[in-house]
Amino acid sequence: MTAVQSRADSTITVRNPATGAVSGTVPIDDPATVAAKAAQLVSAQPEWEALGPLGRKRWLLAWQDWILDNADHITEVLISETGKSHGDASIEAVATADAIAYWASHAKEFLADRHPKAHSPLYRVKRFTTAYRPYPLVGVITPWNFPFAMPGLDVPPALAAGAAVLLKPSEVTPLSAVEFVRGWTEIGAPPVLGLTTGYGETGQALIEHADFLQFTGSTATGRKVAVACAQRLIPYGLELGGKDPAIVLADADLDRAANGIAWGGLFNSGQVCVSVERVYVEAPVYDQFVAKLAARVGEVQQGHDGDTGAMATEAQRDIVARHVDEARAAGARVVTGGSATGVGTYFAPTVIADVDSSMTCMTEETFGPTLPVIKVADENEAVRLANDSPYGLSATVWTADKRRGERLARRLEVGAVNVNDALVNVFCPGLPMGGWKESGVGYRAGGASGILKYSRQQAITSPRLPTQKSELLWYPSSKRRMAVALGAMRVFAARGRRRFGRRPSSG
């Protein structure tokens, strides 16, 4: 049963993919409605910006309190529209609260004026300032896999920067976003966070009115978003598809590697942009590792009170089934799992051994609970195969030698690498999160850069000394004044004899 059931009466009916039960409805906003919401947010934004980082901090922390106080309800809403397990769903509200605290507490520091030093003595008579002003309206389009936590990654830093935000969630899972924005409204915060729901036309309308657009979703849709933003000449950030590799070296703690890769590949039923989707294991430990991984994956329980839940859509479940079936038909060995369970959109956690690099389970984004494993001769082959992908979101390396792991990390063509761990960088806002190659453009988080991306830089110069009526290069021009100005510039810019207008000797 798909999460999106109908468009009847200009509404989206949302169903629980695990049970088929109706979870709720949301309206489909047409372009005129989106335009009206955008205009309201923009009109409220100047007062929000004028509060300054500390004034905004008060509202952000009140919002954080509301989210924590309502975490149980938020979790149930998440489960109702995604089919997640209770454990997977319960992380989202707490992780969002943590992110809000980070941006609220660091905004003053991150947004403070910078005062660059003059690059030449000639300019030391000036005071230089770089100031940061928010984009008036930030548009945020989020996917269906983390319908509360994904807005939690992108919306708080934009609000902390002083921007207004219009959020457009996936039509598959819009109910959690309703709660996300409801919390902001219920605390009485200034009306600078809005919600618009609908399909592609609604998202296109949002792009038409945003001053900055942050999109998370598929690479195919991301290309269209980039074109639409380019036509309007507005900046954007894209986090797109992934096919994250894990490299298991022969010296690794195989029990930890099996446990970590199982969690990194199956968390949220594998529906994570940074899920482990390819595993490369050095030959001496290949059989032993596959056995340990299969045993760990075979213990994973599915269901509301289990480790993982259902797939968010029937279409996604069918992609997983196709990848497994095609691998099996091409000679791979399904060690555990390998099929849909027949209940809702559940697909059994799966390990596939003896995989070939040409199989679709290795070349296409699966976004499901599968772990295909390939035997490699050594770390060089592992790195070569790991890099042989159009995607470059993140990766993991498993080894007893941390320095070796970090050295290997720098050879991988991805935006993040976790050594002897999985997914951890996602929970650390001080680190940048972004993809290389077809996995995205730009970064989210990353300390100061995570909030400055929602800001426009403004250069300000002002005199340090009492001003004169004219400057050397001002009109009316004079050969003498020009000679003095150019001579001074040469002295401080050139090297050796060239500083004085002389050519160096040719000998």
State which amino acid sits at residue 299.
Answer: E
Is 273 catalytic? The answer is: yes
> Contact, 349 vs 308, CB < 8 A?
yes
Q: Which residues contact 434 (CB under 8 A, 6 or more apart)?
A: 237, 239, 415, 440, 441, 442, 443, 444
Joined tokens for residue 407 = 């050295």
User: Look-up: residue for tokens 């039923």?
Assistant: 269
Catalytic entry in 239, 282, 379, 438: 239
Q: In Å, what is the CA distance from 147 to each residue of 126, 171, 180?
A: 49, 10, 9
Distance CA(57)–CA(282), nearest Å, equals 50
Smallest Cα–Cα separation from 49: which of 160, 154, 209, 139?
160
Length of the chain: 507
- Dump the DSSP string for 57-86: HHHHHHHHHHHHHTHHHHHHHHHHHH---H
Q: Which residues contact 278 (CB under 8 A, 6 or more apart)?
A: 243, 244, 245, 246, 362, 372, 374, 385, 386, 389
Cα 108–109–113 angle (5° rounding)?
90
> Contact, 419 vs 397, CB < 8 A?
yes
**Distance in angstroms between the alpha carbons of the first and the last residue of the chain:** 83
Going by the DSSP 8-state scheme, the letter that residue 506 receives in this structure is -
User: Look-up: residue for tokens 């709720």?
Assistant: 24
Q: Which residues contact 273 (CB under 8 A, 6 or more apart)?
A: 145, 216, 239, 241, 242, 393
Catalytic entry in 273, 282, 379, 438: 273
For the packed helices 71-82 and 175-186, what is the interaxial angle rounded to 10 degrees? Answer: 160
> Contact, 397 vs 387, CB < 8 A?
no
User: Look-up: residue for tokens 């032993």?
Assistant: 288
| Number of Cβ atoms within 10 Å of the Cβ of 78 | 27
Distance CA(46)–CA(192), nearest Å, equals 10
- Dump the DSSP string for 82-144: H---HHHHHHHHHHHHHHHHHHHHHHHHHHSPB-PPPSSGGGTTEEEEEEEEE-SEEEEE--S
Which residues are identified as catalytic? 239, 273
